[in-house]
């Protein structure tokens, strides 16, 4: 046996998980074979065994499924996967029904399949450390906890009680697990686990699982209980509304929960396996595993961070501009213990920026989720000021003023000299090239773009932009700063619109172009929602302000003229320009854009859109509209990769999902291409280009980049 050790001494059989060459234990094929062999040995030694201990030689207990192996599965592998899962469950059941006490010693995290391994024990003992996590995150990866997790959690917590832990992938620490009855005992450290396990075995010479007891009753009742039945009757519709039918895992999990609760335990296990075997070979599962596991871990591990041996720990950070963005950054910093100087042109404006943090935290205080002392400490870390002198000694200053080159240059020149020795300067611009803004700096190598997304307190992504002169140390420091805020950094090279703003622009402008083609505005919005975007393109344009889009268009035209070129606006840009300049529809903040915003009422599409633009004879197909919105963004992302704006697929995928809301079921803009199949994608893009123009053209160098960056598993 290669991935575990089996030892029998003094009547105690110990199975120690220790996968070679891996920092964690996984349910790889070798482990599955080794577990079968170990259980076979347990049965052989049954008469001399008093108890069984499940332990780990790693710093964590068990990590779960072998996800690299999962990525290699094909649709035809489902029957084999079914047999493998059933064998794992057979091994668990053999241990559970042997009549001998089985104890799991949880020295660290047990997630997904790892928690299912722990559930095979009659008694679970955990180290009392709040940083340790248990639970079933499979739904976030397009899978379900199908190695007995659904069946057992439902029987331990009941149908309603188990829902947050299965359908929402809610994780829990050891103390919460103890309160839920999922862990039975806590010990102060890993050394205390085995003595506690041996003591429990000595006190319980025989053991069985709760669901194997003759008097077992499901907590809260079965689906036949009228109260449960009433809730379950609306659950599928609520789930469909949330997932829009694009995420099969939550629906499969709910079905397995309910169907399993209607039958005996072993039949429930089989139902669960069928659902998992079908899901695990599906494209959506592969897309989500690729991005939310492998790509996310690549970013967390710092693969996008330049090699700089130091580690930047921000102590005092200045922010120029106390508007919604500046106030949001101030909150993000103060909530992480960073002293913040928030400067604006007047003390009143600076104070208003600080008040944003009070506005965010006050509801938490009122609901008991935040201690008032903690709130006051957070607010005390923010120093609002109108005086540039207060910026002295900052190890980072971020300008977050209006998107105007002259204004940004002015505040840069005023604040940069006040940086602490070795400090660096950043611009929070969303569109203006960093190399151009760095001309106002005396040290362009220490000037970087740090692009936050609004609202800062909710948006996890931060885009770091390297200017032509920005050095590795400055990019690395920016990366460390973003991670210190608990946010997700991606690193891109300088270009107009960088990556996120550039690709986001293609989404909204493709939607605007559809309106210009005479397609009904409600259909355009529905196409966006049904494709999986969080909001329709017209609603997003309103939120970000149509006037801002026109301002960017005017700036782009001016920049092209300065370079002796002419910028050709897209049909979508021209329609938005008409909305602003002809019809004075500037966006939500200005009172209305594509939508009307009645005071105290629900927004609705501006009725004049139908009169001005809609053409009853304009042909449209909903699938084609959805394709246009997704393919347009994916093509632009691939162009960014080919041009070197992006340098990795993981930055592309994570950035597109967390920055611009590209649908999670696709795994991100590049994974959408790979999940669709490169040849299939390119053919469809060619068809769309022939009908809807150059936005969908995939040039030869872009095709090369797509193939060159294709991930291998």
What are the C-alpha distances in Å from 108 to residues 136, 193, 320, 420, 673? 15, 11, 43, 41, 37
Q: What are the C-alpha distances in Å from 314 to residues 118, 198, 324, 424, 482?
A: 40, 48, 22, 11, 10
Burial of 521 by CB count in 10 Å (0-12 exposed, 13-18 middle, 19+ buried)? buried
Q: Which one is catalytic: 138, 510, 525, 636?
A: 138
Residue written as tokens 């995939």? Answer: 698
Token digits of residue 411:
């505040």
Residue-by-residue DSSP string for 157-200: H-HHHHHHHHTS---B-HHHHHHHTSS-EEESSGGGHHHHHHHH
Instruction: Return d(Cα 72, Cα 295) in angstroms, integer.
Output: 16
Tell me if residue 138 is catalytic. yes
Nearest alpha-carbon partner for 642 in 564, 699, 680: 699
> How many Å is the Cα radius of gyration of the chain?
28
Whether 366 is catalytic? no
Give yes or no for a contact between 255 and 635, defined as CB atoms under 8 angstroms apart. no
Find the length of the chain: 713
Does residue 169 contact residue 136 with C-beta atoms inside 8 Å? yes
- 3-class DSSP assignment, residue 124: strand
Contact 647, 710 (CB under 8 A): no
Q: Are 508 and 572 in contact (CB under 8 A)?
A: yes
Phi-psi bin for 11: left (phi > 0), alpha (psi -120 to 50), beta? left
Q: What angle do CA 205, 206, 211 make, to 5 degrees?
A: 150
- Which entry of 116, 185, 272, 510 is annotated as an active-site residue? 116
| Residues noted as catalytic | 116, 138
């Amino acid at each position: 046996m290669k991935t575990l050790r089996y030892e029998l001494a003094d009547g105690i059989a110990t199975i120690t998980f220790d996968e070679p060459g891996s920092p964690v234990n996984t349910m790889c094929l070798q482990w599955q074979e080794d577990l079968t062999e170990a259980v076979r040995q347990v049965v052989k030694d049954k008469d001399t065994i008093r108890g069984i201990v499940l332990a780990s030689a790693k710093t964590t207990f068990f990590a779960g499924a072998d996800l690299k192996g999962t990525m290699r599965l094909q649709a035809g592998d489902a029957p084999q996967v079914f047999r493998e899962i059933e064998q794992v469950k057979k091994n668990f059941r053999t241990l559970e029904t042997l009549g001998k006490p089985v104890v799991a010693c949880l020295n660290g995290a047990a997630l997904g399949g790892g928690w299912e391994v722990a559930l095979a024990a009659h008694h679970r003992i955990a180290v009392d450390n709040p940083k340790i996590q248990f639970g079933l995150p499979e739904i976030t990866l397009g899978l379900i906890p199908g190695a007995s997790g659904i069946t057992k959690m439902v029987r331990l917590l009941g149908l309603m009680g188990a829902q947050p832990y299965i359908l929402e992938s809610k994780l829990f620490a050891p103390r919460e697990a103890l309160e839920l009855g999922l862990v039975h005992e806590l010990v102060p450290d890993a050394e205390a686990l085995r003595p506690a396990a041996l003591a429990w075995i000595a006190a319980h010479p025989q053991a069985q699982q709760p669901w194997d007891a003759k008097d077992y009753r499901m907590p809260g009742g079965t689906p036949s209980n009228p109260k449960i039945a009433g809730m379950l009757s609306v659950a599928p519709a609520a789930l469909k509304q949330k997932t829009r039918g694009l995420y099969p895992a939550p629906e499969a999990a709910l079905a397995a929960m309910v169907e399993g609760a209607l039958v005996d335990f072993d039949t429930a296990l089989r139902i669960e396996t069928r659902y998992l075997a079908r899901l695990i070979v599906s494209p959506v599962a592969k897309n989500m595993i690729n991005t939310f596991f492998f790509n996310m871990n690549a970013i967390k591990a710092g693969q996008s961070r330049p090699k700089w041996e130091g580690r930047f720990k921000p102590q005092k950070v200045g922010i120029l501009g106390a508007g919604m963005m500046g106030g949001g950054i101030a909150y993000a910093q103060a909530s992480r213990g960073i002293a913040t100087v928030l400067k604006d042109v007047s003390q009143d404006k600076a104070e208003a920026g600080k008040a944003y943090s009070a506005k965010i935290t006050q509801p938490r205080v009122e609901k008991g989720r935040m201690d008032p002392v903690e709130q006051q400490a957070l607010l005390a870390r923010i120093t609002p000021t109108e005086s540039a002198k207060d910026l002295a000694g900052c190890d980072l200053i971020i300008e977050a003023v209006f998107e105007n080159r002259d204004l940004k240059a002015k505040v840069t020149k005023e604040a940069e000299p006040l940086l602490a020795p070795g400090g660096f300067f950043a611009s929070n611009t969303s569109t203006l090239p960093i190399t151009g803004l760095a001309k106002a700096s005396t040290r362009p190598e220490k000037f970087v773009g740090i692009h936050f997304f609004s609202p800062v307190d909710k948006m996890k992504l931060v885009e770091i932009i390297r200017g032509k002169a920005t050095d590795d140390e400055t990019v690395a420091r920016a990366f460390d700063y973003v991670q210190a805020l608990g946010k997700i950094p991606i690193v891109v090279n300088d270009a107009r619109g960088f990556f996120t703003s550039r690709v986001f622009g293609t989404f909204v402008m493709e939607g605007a172009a559809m309106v210009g083609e005479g397609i009904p505005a409600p259909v355009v919005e529905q196409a966006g929602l049904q494709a999986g975007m969080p909001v329709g393109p017209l609603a997003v344009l309103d939120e970000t302000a149509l006037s801002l889009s026109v301002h960017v268009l005017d700036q782009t035209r001016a920049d092209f003229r300065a370079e002796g070129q002419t910028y050709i606006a897209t049909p979508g840009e021209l329609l938005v320009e008409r909305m602003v300049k002809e019809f004075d529809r500037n966006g939500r903040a200005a009172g209305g854009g594509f939508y009307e915003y009645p005071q105290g009422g629900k927004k609705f599409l501006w009725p004049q859109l139908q009169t001005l633009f809609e053409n009853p004879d304009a042909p449209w197909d909903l699938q084609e509209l959805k394709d246009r919105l997704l393919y347009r963004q994916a093509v632009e992302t691939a162009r960014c990769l080919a041009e070197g704006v992006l340098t990795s697929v993981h930055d592309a995928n994570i950035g597109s999902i967390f920055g611009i809301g590209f649908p999670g079921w696709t795994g991100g803009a590049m994974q959408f291409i790979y999940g669709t199949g490169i040849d299939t994608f390119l053919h469809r893009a060619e068809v769309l280009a022939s009908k809807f123009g150059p936005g969908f053209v995939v040039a030869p160098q872009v095709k090369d980049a797509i193939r060159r960056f294709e991930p291998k598993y």
